[in-house]
Amino acid sequence: MEKSALQKARSVYKPKLPVVMTGAVKAVEGKDTNSVADQEEIKALFPNTYGLPEIQFEKDSAPAKGAAPINVGVILSGGQAPGGHNVISGLFDGIKKVNRESRLYGFLMGPGGFVDHQYMELTADIIDQFRNTGGFDIIGSGRTKLETKAQFDKGLEILKKLNIQALVIIGGDDSNTNAAILAEYYKQINAGVQVIGCPKTIDGDLKNDVIETSFGFDTATKVYSEVIGNIQRDCNSSKKYWHFIKLMGRSASHIALECALQCQPNVCIISEEVEAKKMTLNDIVDYIADVVAARAADGKNFGTVLVPEGLIEFIPAMKALIAELNDLLATNAEEFSHVDPSNRIEWVASRLSDINKEIFTSLPEGVANQLCLDRDPHGNVQVSLIETEKLLGHMVARRLDLLKANGRFVGKFATLFHFFGYEGRCADPSNFDADYCYALGFNAACLIKSGLTGYMSSVRGLTKPSVQWTTGGIPITMMMNMERRHGQMKPVIQKALVDLNGKPFKKFAASRERWAKNTEFIYPGPIQYFGPAEVCDQPSLTLKYEHE
Ligand code: FBP
């Protein structure tokens, strides 16, 4: 693999491991745990792994004893997130520290590789090529859902063949939910295989009281903020465009909120607030149009609007439409697949209830079509593919035409559209993510060595310098509740949406009127890997405000 100058320099970066992990550690048990809700149901579903204690690692002063080698398998699951390679290199170094003869196997292209026995051994040569790099290309990732007994049994065959004692699943809330189910199953059948999860997703929605953030959020939001900042500077230089910028993040608006805190745009929509205030699409359009008109009255015919990609699902009327579409398309999948693409909208409209038909047929054709596309394997609408930013831009233009006719808008409204998502998912991890991920992987090796299963690797105190972070394990069942999925109640890890009473949102809400009226753009610039800690090692503002 040919490397850029930056890649070469970056490959020798040594992640700053928490001090506690630099020598021998012992696992100290905390209190027994309970699930966040629905305790009785979760307990009944996880009789072998429910209620386990939290684990914290402490330095062990006892003389180090030699330990047998451990063979470990690793899976990257779901969307890419910067730092995945460092989780794997931390895990590799961790098991090699236990015994030089330990071996690490990577299952290829996600959980599918585990079920289909596609794997490769990750040797030191391979690992060294990928240290501190972005991407998941070391072994690839995939979205196959690991959920059936047949898959678990098939996977066990290869684990046994390779003498693997533990499987590490690096994934988001759904993948870690499945890790917990797998851990429970292997314990129940005495398979002799431990399962450990690691919290991954740029979306930032896998977090709670005990998992402070998912890895990748820090780097991805820094990449998006750099580009938003550049656009803002361009916009403030020519003063002639309104930029509508959609940001990835699935349902939650954490990414949009973090970018707003970093860049201070004129408008940022937060889906969770839209839902809480029961706002309609027209309410959102009116809000943006009023900001545009007020700035135009001050002679400012330019600005930026940040739109979270999941917005459409949070507008109550759209939510109801999507729910009916989900059912309609799931129950008539075969028939729908034969409908000529040019007739799809008509086919769908004729089968919807009157109220949803009215909304559906009022949408621009592109958006209506996008709402009918395939769902992902977890049943989610593929919100990244819906051009919400264009929908809003066009509707705001129509609204401004009306205001103009009434003499309430005196300016110009020229729009440009952007979507930032994929360009942030494989960036070289920031120092924060490089250190955090390496610690998560190294810590996973410690959890394995301690004989634990059904735990998520947990590294905390993340607003402090990384050497002061604390490490341990959290029983995954502790994060679970029961939710309706595909028409059935299922145990799942509770997704964290933006907390409207939390400090990050409050900081944003306290400033947004000023940012709308004035031009108070911030230009964060690119991620810095070398230089002073205040430039290179800062965590996200979301993390900082949540823990100050
Ligand atoms: P994960 O939850 O798997 O980490 O996915 C993150 C994400 O980037 C979302 O923000 C986005 O909606 C989705 O993946 C896009 O999926 P795909 O890569 O399949 O297009």
Q: List all residues whose CB is within 6 A of at least one atom of ligand 1.
A: 78-79, 81, 172, 201-203, 248-250, 383-384, 425
* 383 CA: nearest ligand 1 atom: 12
Q: Are residues 435 and 394 in the same domain?
A: no
Q: Are residues 280 and 237 in the same domain?
A: yes
> Which pLDDT score, from 0 to 100, does residue 330 have?
79
The tokens describing 402, both together, are: 């009306």
Asked if pLDDT for residue 487 goes beyond 80, the answer is no
Q: Are residues 517 and 392 in the same domain?
A: yes
Range 274-300 average pLDDT: 96
Q: Are residues 200 and 280 in the same domain?
A: no
CA nearest neighbour of 374 among 439, 438, 326: 326
Count how many domains the chain has. 2
Ligand 1 atom 7, closest CA: 79
Q: Are residues 329 and 437 in the same domain?
A: no
Residue 345 belongs to some domain of the structure? yes
* Residue 394 neighbours by CB under 8 Å, 6+ apart: 364
Q: Are residues 338 and 368 in the same domain?
A: yes
pTM of the model: 0.94
- Picking from 158-167, 315-324, 516-525, which range would have the lowest pLDDT averaged per residue? 315-324
What is the C-alpha separation between 76 and 39, in angstroms, rounded? 29
> Which pLDDT score, from 0 to 100, does residue 332 have?
86
Range 387-392 average pLDDT: 91
Q: Are residues 410 and 367 in the same domain?
A: yes
Residue 36 belongs to some domain of the structure? no
Q: Are residues 225 and 157 in the same domain?
A: no
pLDDT digits (tens, 9 = 90+) for 188-233: 999 999 999 999 999 999 999 999 999 999 999 999 999 999 999 9
Q: Identify the helix (H) or strand (E) that includes residue 155.
A: helix 149-161
* CATH number of the domain residue 385 falls in: 3.40.50.460
CA 252 to centroid of ligand 1, rounded, Å: 12
Residue 409 belongs to some domain of the structure? yes
CA 250 to centroid of ligand 1, rounded, Å: 7
> Which pLDDT score, from 0 to 100, does residue 84 have?
98
pLDDT digits (tens, 9 = 90+) for 54-90: 999 999 888 667 789 999 999 999 999 999 999 999 9
Asked if pLDDT for residue 491 goes beyond 80, the answer is yes
> Which pLDDT score, from 0 to 100, does residue 202 have?
98
Q: How far apart are the first and last CA of the chain?
A: 43
Exposed / middle / buried, residue 230 (Cβ in 10 Å: 0-12, 13-18, 19+): middle
The range of the structural domain enclosing residue 402 comes to 219-424+501-528
* 78 CA: nearest ligand 1 atom: 3
Q: Are residues 74 and 171 in the same domain?
A: yes
pLDDT digits (tens, 9 = 90+) for 90-131: 999 999 999 999 999 999 999 999 999 999 999 999 999 999
* 203 CA: nearest ligand 1 atom: 10
Are 379 and 326 spatial neighbours (Cβ–Cβ below 8 Å)?
A: yes
> Which pLDDT score, from 0 to 100, does residue 384 have?
74
Ligand 1: residue of 143, 176, 246, 250 to mutate (most ligand atoms within 8 A of CB) is 250
Ligand 1: residue of 87, 146, 201, 419 to mutate (most ligand atoms within 8 A of CB) is 201
Ligand 1: residue of 75, 146, 207, 248 to mutate (most ligand atoms within 8 A of CB) is 248
Are 368 and 345 spatial neighbours (Cβ–Cβ below 8 Å)?
A: yes
CA 78 to centroid of ligand 1, rounded, Å: 7
- Among candidate residues 93, 203, 428, 433, the one labeled active-site is 203
Residue 537 belongs to some domain of the structure? no
Q: Are residues 404 and 278 in the same domain?
A: yes
Q: Are residues 284 and 368 in the same domain?
A: yes
* 248 CA: nearest ligand 1 atom: 10
CA 201 to centroid of ligand 1, rounded, Å: 8
What is the C-alpha separation between 379 and 387, in angstroms, rounded? 19
Residue 483 belongs to some domain of the structure? no
Are 104 and 95 spatial neighbours (Cβ–Cβ below 8 Å)?
A: yes
Residue 51 belongs to some domain of the structure? no
pLDDT band per the 50, 70, 90 thresholds, residue 505? very high
* 422 CA: nearest ligand 1 atom: 8
Ligand 1 atom 4, closest CA: 201
* CATH number of the domain residue 73 falls in: 3.40.50.450
Residue 8 belongs to some domain of the structure? no
> Which pLDDT score, from 0 to 100, does residue 165 have?
98
Residue 203 catalytic? Answer: yes
Residue 34 belongs to some domain of the structure? no
Q: Are residues 340 and 416 in the same domain?
A: yes
CA nearest neighbour of 141 among 112, 179, 105: 112
Are 238 and 302 spatial neighbours (Cβ–Cβ below 8 Å)?
A: yes
CA 384 to centroid of ligand 1, rounded, Å: 8
